[in-house]
Amino acid sequence: MKNGFFPALGTPLNSDGQLNADSYAGQVDIMIESGASGLLCMGSMGNMSSIRDEVYPDVAEACVGSAAGRVPVMVGVMDNSVARVMDRIYALGDLEIEGVVATTPFYYKSTDEQIYNFFSMLAAESYYPVYIYDLPVVTQSPITYEVLTELMKDENIKGVKSANFDMLMKIISNGVPEGFDILFSGLDIFDKAQTKGLLKNLDGMFTATPFNSGKMYEAANAGNGDAVTEYLGRIIKLRNEFVKSNVFSAYSYAMNILGMPGLYHPDFHGRVNAKAMEGIRRCMTEIGEIK
């Protein structure tokens, strides 16, 4: 996969829990037109864990169909056992994707040995390449340097997504196997990370800020670090506005403002209030995402 930004797509659902396919296709197009190097379908921002089982393969098929081979697509398969993750993978059939993305099981706090067992067992059974998703804020179980270096030896484990800057820098300093991708997800320091060789960045905020995301990576390609920091600051400003209320519900409203209708939040979260709507719209205007 090429260097650049990888949006974690939001999943727009209708009120009956079915995919809003037109909205989703529009999101894919906007991301690719903005310069995305690849897409993550149904990551944490895409609410994979709250999507109905019957809708799950529809979302993956819609993403692959809309991308139409223009950029690589990864698909989230997060669940609480190897067997349940494999059910997700089997539901994908034979879609042409770059690989599947899995966190450690999020219902249990796992030991290093259990984390190693989980990913090595998954890699042995999966007919798709496996990407490790390090998300300790949700899973309670961080991927350690020691575990990751062992898992990197597995031929069917092709990458890691993590915000652990120090661990990833240590991995890079000791040599990354050919064909193994490091996707850095620490949004607040993307500009710093790029100067240290972490050149593939993945986050859900890219989808809510297509203008600033595109400009940020244009600046990165031009070697303009000051501009990278400026555009990153705008993206973080909107993220901080989301945090004032409910992140997923605020994200829903922002995506609707951008012309991509649907519910992007879990069904029990509800919509943001009028005050939050006003703040989000004002912020999106200030950072140049809307007029």
> What fold characterizes domain 4-236?
TIM Barrel (3.20.20)
Largest Cα separation within the chain, whole Å, is 52
* Domains of the chain, residue spans: 4-236
Q: What is the chain's pLDDT, residue by residue, as a tens digit (291 residues)?
A: 899 999 999 999 999 999 999 999 999 999 999 999 999 999 999 999 999 999 999 999 999 999 999 999 999 999 999 999 999 999 999 999 999 999 999 999 999 999 999 999 999 999 999 999 999 999 999 999 999 999 999 999 999 999 999 999 999 999 899 999 999 999 999 999 999 999 999 999 999 999 999 999 999 999 999 999 999 999 999 999 999 999 999 999 999 999 999 999 999 999 999 999 999 999 999 999 999
pLDDT at position 156: 98
CB atoms within 10 A of CB 239: 20
Which pLDDT value is given to residue 89? Answer: 98
